Structure 1
């Protein structure tokens, strides 16, 4: 059950981050300031879903890895530390700042500097979570193959 919770929470977090990034890029490149404000508002409120999903992903991952060691486990743990720090120190403050600035109509240099930082942090999150997703699939590959053979 822990594996299902971990995989579900991690996948949802990955999808949410990808949605945040895609929405931001589309709004910035193709839409008007009102749309950018709507996207920043959605991201601000979406963080209230993303943060618990990331906590569930990290907590369940550390629980699943409690009795395991090795290269994949250690790499996933190291990535989660970076993901957590990036989320708390970069992504969350950027989302709050951009939400307030966009809703105040302040699309100035500061807004765009923080927007670039948020995009870079989001790309890093997406990349690291994708690597963890890949490594998690590798770690459970034998278990999935056995389950498939037993079901047949």
Structure 2
């Protein structure tokens, strides 16, 4: 794949993944703060249904990012790679929690166990958003869109 197309793929995957994660986080937080069980069940069902979008965009993001980085010795590239390893592990935890919360909300109950899992999901999600934001910032610096490297 040509570098130009690889960059477009990476940007598209980054955009889709980031927007999806932000939406998952936001609607979960709103539902929990609102406290309406029906809303919580709807949100968990919606997240479960849109999970495949994330399951396609994140690997596309990682694969295209790795190809763009190749064997770079750039410090920012190395930092991005390190952060992506953490994002990947957190992502596995988040997918597991999303499935668990969907199942719990729809087939069991929105109880204390659900709430602890929801708190964990929000914490892992916020941490991933921070790491992804840092990677986006580093990517913009690498592309020259954020000025000179410090």
Aligned to 1:141, what secondary structure does the other structure show?
Answer: coil
State which of 12, 15, 20 in structure 1 corresponds to 2:16: 12
Per the normalisation by structure 2, the TM-score is 0.90
Aligned to 2:110: 107
Aligned to 2:110, what secondary structure does the other structure show?
Answer: coil
1:104 CA displacement: 2.2
1:11-90 maps to which residues of 2 (within 5 A)?
A: 11-88=15-92, 90=93
Per the normalisation by structure 1, the TM-score is 0.89
Aligned to 2:100: 97
State which of 109, 125, 140 in structure 2 corresponds to 1:137: 140
Per-residue CA shift, 1:12-65, capped at 9, x if unaligned? 111111111110111111251111111001111211110110000000000000
1:7 CA displacement: 1.1
List alignment gaps of at least 5 residues for structure 1.
146-152
1:105 CA displacement: 4.9
Aligned to 1:3: 7
Per-residue CA shift, 1:77-115, capped at 9, x if unaligned? 001100011111x10110010001111250111101100
Q: What is the aligned length?
A: 143
Aligned to 2:72, what secondary structure does the other structure show?
Answer: coil
Aligned to 1:113, what secondary structure does the other structure show?
Answer: helix
List alignment gaps of at least 5 residues for structure 2.
none
The ranges of structure 1 where at least 4 consecutive aligned residues each deviate by more than 4 angstroms after the TM superposition are none
